[in-house]
Structure 1
Amino acid sequence: MLGKFVDQKAQERYFATYDAILRKWPVPAEELDVETRFGPTRVRRSGTGQGTPIVLLHGVMGTSLSWYFFVAELAERHTVYAVDTIGEPGRSVQTRPVQSGQDQAEWLADVLAGLGHEKFHLVGISRGAMIALDLAMRSSDRIASVIAVEPGGFGTIGLRFVLWSFGQMFRWLLPAPILRRVMSGDPHVRRTLAPLLLRGLKYKPHFPPQYEFTDDQLRAIDVPVHFVLAEHCAVHNSREVAARVEALNPLLRAEIVPKTTHALPLEEPDLTISRILTLVEDDRADLPE
């Protein structure tokens, strides 16, 4: 089964909104279509910096546009690739089902191979972080390191998360002055992305069945991974996740950000950018200015 819109009108409205938000992309960019076993994948390249590039993987039902308010700072000194995940609304075109973690890893491996660099820093949010980990535990050939922000794979999505998600969606529609009072972060970012999220509800995604990472899978990761976890996550217990990953593998490190939820990047954008830049700046240390 392939992800698809419910009808042509829903697709047209979605992409009209997508293109309107794309015009807000704050830095010059090149649109790439990378061939994979699961279909052509849209990737947006920004920046021309030296060193290992950054690959940005969005959360569930988002798109590469979820990163528009981060990319300017990241692209100042680095090459940044923002990806539309296959099987979700966006400019990628799925031609083959993604049925397992192995499939997700193979898709991402194809994307990295098509981009042509030797190594990448992977930065993922939620499902994007889960996909990055899916690849890291199977093959680290093209991975320099991973930042996993509120990753999937450590709990089951249930009623608590569904209720939290609908609550978030409702508040995103509030006027900016009210939104500023009830949620941390820039309300204009949420107001910008809200129409795309709502129109994305008319897309029928096809995800692999839910699964959780095993201890053996986490032990198999042989690149540095920094977990950024929310204190109040609606999917997993962050303290348990942090203790588990650090006990299993010395390459895995975790931090818990106080007073945050699964929407951590929106709530703490400066912290998110800081963690990404800290990750990649070490890689540039020996490069000439």
Structure 2
Amino acid sequence: MIGAFKNARSEERYLAAYDRIAALWPVPVQDLDVTTRYGPTRVRASGDEGPPIVLLSGAMGTSLSWYPHVADLAAHHRVYAVDTIGEPGRSHQTRATGTGDDCADWLADVLDALGHEKFLLAGVSRGAWLALTLAARSPDRIAGVVAVEPPGFAPIGWSFIRWSVREIATWFDPRPRAAVRRTFRPLLFGGLKYRAHHPAQYLFSDDQLRAITVPVRLVLGERSVIHTAREVEQRVQALNPLFDVEIVPRATHALPLQRPELVTARILAG
């Protein structure tokens, strides 16, 4: 199956909201539509010099979710923020991604199209899972990975579903501290009318984690509902000395919203 909006009207409204938010991008940007075997993929490129970073959002996040971070990142790096194939956004899926290998192939195609020898991959949630999936399978083009709250270390259960419902409710919060949520609210709710079709996020095996040969910085929430952070830390450090783990006190799976400045700093640190 291929991801698509339920109808043309839903797509029009979503893309109109997308374009309004895109106008908030705080630094000069070039929109690229790069060719992959799974369809044209939208990439927002900013920054002129410095080692390249590829930014991968969480589910339904789009490249635009990186706008609070991009000014600081682009001051030091060439930055590429990606609309993940099979998710709502300005990428256009033409072929199904039925397995984790398909997802890795798609991301490898994106890196090939961008043309640099090596990239730092930085991802949040599903984007972090994608980055680790490619690093375990084909690390040749990767200089390192910053993975913020990646799934793939424990089964996703009802605790995550309950947490997600409560988290979505916070997007209605009108208070000033919820400014980022207010900005992205139209994309969140418009994206609910998109039928996403992509493979389940499998659990990483010990062999996959051992196969990663580049430095990995894991940033985990102490109160995450997708894994137990201390268990993840103990496991990866026993398997692979290239993993560095930071557990952020009191943070949940919404860590990028709770501590955006920390996420930016960890990406800059590589």
Q: Does 1:227 align with 2:213?
A: no
CA deviations over 1:161-197 (Å, ceiling 9, x no partner): 11111111111111114xx3xxxxxx21111011110
TM-score (norm 2): 0.98
Q: In the aligned structure 1, how far is the partner of 2:126 from the partner of 2:157? A: 15
Partner of 1:173: 172
**Cα deviation, residue 140, structure 1:** 1.0
Q: Secondary structure at the match of 1:253?
A: strand
**Cα deviation, residue 84, structure 1:** 0.1
1:176–1:191 CA contact under 8 A, matched in 2: no
Q: In the aligned structure 2, how far is the partner of 1:94 from the partner of 1:202? A: 16
Partner of 1:25: 25
Q: Secondary structure at the match of 1:48?
A: coil
Q: Does 1:218 align with 2:209?
A: yes
Q: In the aligned structure 2, how far is the partner of 1:141 from the partner of 1:209? A: 25
Partner of 1:264: 255
Q: In the aligned structure 1, how far is the partner of 2:243 from the partner of 2:122? A: 14
Q: Does 1:193 align with 2:173?
A: no
CA deviations over 1:253-286 (Å, ceiling 9, x no partner): 111000100010110111111111111xxxxxxx
The answer for unaligned runs of 5 or more in structure 2 is: none
Partner of 1:36: 36
1:46–1:75 CA contact under 8 A, matched in 2: yes
Q: Secondary structure at the match of 2:192?
A: helix
* Structure 1 runs, 4 residues or longer, greater than 4 Å off: none
Q: In the aligned structure 2, how far is the partner of 1:109 from the partner of 1:168? A: 32
Q: In the aligned structure 2, how far is the partner of 1:194 from the partner of 1:262? A: 18
CA deviations over 1:115-164 (Å, ceiling 9, x no partner): 00000000000000000011000111110000000001112222211111
Partner of 1:148: 147
1:156–1:210 CA contact under 8 A, matched in 2: no
**Cα deviation, residue 232, structure 1:** 0.7
2:151–2:201 CA contact under 8 A, matched in 1: no
Q: Secondary structure at the match of 1:189?
A: helix
Q: In the aligned structure 1, how far is the partner of 2:179 from the partner of 2:5? A: 27
Q: Secondary structure at the match of 2:146?
A: strand
The answer for unaligned runs of 5 or more in structure 1 is: 181-186, 280-289
Q: Does 1:248 align with 2:239?
A: yes
> Residues 43-192 of structure 1 correspond to what in structure 2 (within 5 A)?
43-50=43-50, 52-177=51-176, 180=177, 187-192=178-183
Question: Which of 194, 201, 222 in structure 2 is aligned with 1:203?
Answer: 194
Partner of 2:268: 277
Q: In the aligned structure 2, how far is the partner of 1:37 from the partner of 1:165? A: 32
The one-letter code of the counterpart of 1:271 is: L
Partner of 2:8: 8
Q: Secondary structure at the match of 1:174?
A: coil
CA deviations over 1:60-118 (Å, ceiling 9, x no partner): 11100000111011111211000000000000000111111111110000000000000
Report % sequence identity: 61
The one-letter code of the counterpart of 1:29 is: V
CA deviations over 1:211-262 (Å, ceiling 9, x no partner): 1000000000000000000001111111101110111001111110001000
Q: In the aligned structure 2, how far is the partner of 1:91 from the partner of 1:155? A: 31
2:32–2:44 CA contact under 8 A, matched in 1: yes
Q: In the aligned structure 1, how far is the partner of 2:123 from the partner of 2:155? A: 18
Q: Secondary structure at the match of 2:137?
A: coil
Q: Secondary structure at the match of 1:124?
A: strand
Partner of 1:285: none
1:137–1:218 CA contact under 8 A, matched in 2: yes
Q: In the aligned structure 2, how far is the partner of 1:43 from the partner of 1:69? A: 17
More displaced stretch, 162-171 vs 66-75: 162-171
CA RMSD in angstroms, aligned pairs only: 0.9
**Cα deviation, residue 209, structure 1:** 2.8
The one-letter code of the counterpart of 2:15 is: F
Instruction: Count residues with an aligned counterpart.
Output: 270
